[in-house]
Amino acid sequence: SQKIEQNSEALNIQEGKTATLTCNYTNYSPAYLQWYRQDPGRGPVFLLLIRENEKEKRKERLKVTFDTTLKQSLFHITASQPADSATYLCALEGKGGNNRLAFGKGNQVVVIP
């Protein structure tokens, strides 16, 4: 069966350090992999998208890598700030660009001042 796995344990990290989150998937061949941020009681907010033929994407303090052989994406927040505290969701979109997303459970990040 298809699975998207993110670490269920919250990541507690000191302000200024780099937070790294992992997304592993099985039985998927995604065209795109996306990362979203979700704050409590709010809808997800799009952060970054990486295509299957891309290895790395950066946006400001965020970096995403994508290894289709390992079926894994890493999401990095550099120079983390308390305002980065949230749940981060990994989402896959299948080939065909149908905009239907399959999400992982999310990984909570807590940045300690």
Partner 1 sequence: ETGVTQSPTHLIKTRGQQVTLRCSSQSGHNTVSWYQQALGQGPQFIFQYYREEENGRGNFPPRFSGLQFPNYSSELNVNALELDDSALYLCASSFWQGSYNEQFFGPGTRLTVL
Chain residues that interact with partner 1, rule: CB under 8 A: 4, 31-32, 36, 41-46, 49, 89, 91, 93, 97-106
**Nearest CB to partner 1, comparing residues 84 and 93:** 93
- Kindly state the smallest distance separating residue 35's Cβ from partner 1, in Å: 12
How far apart are alpha carbons 71 and 51 in whole angstroms? 13
Using DSSP, state whether 82 is helix, strand or coil: helix
Cβ neighbors of 43 (< 8 A, separation 6 or more) are none
**Nearest CB to partner 1, comparing residues 65 and 87:** 87
Quote the distance between the C-alpha of residue 85 and its chain's center: 14
- Kindly state the smallest distance separating residue 3's Cβ from partner 1, in Å: 12
- Kindly state the smallest distance separating residue 52's Cβ from partner 1, in Å: 11
The answer to whether 109 and 75 are in contact (CB under 8 A) is no
**Nearest CB to partner 1, comparing residues 32 and 66:** 32
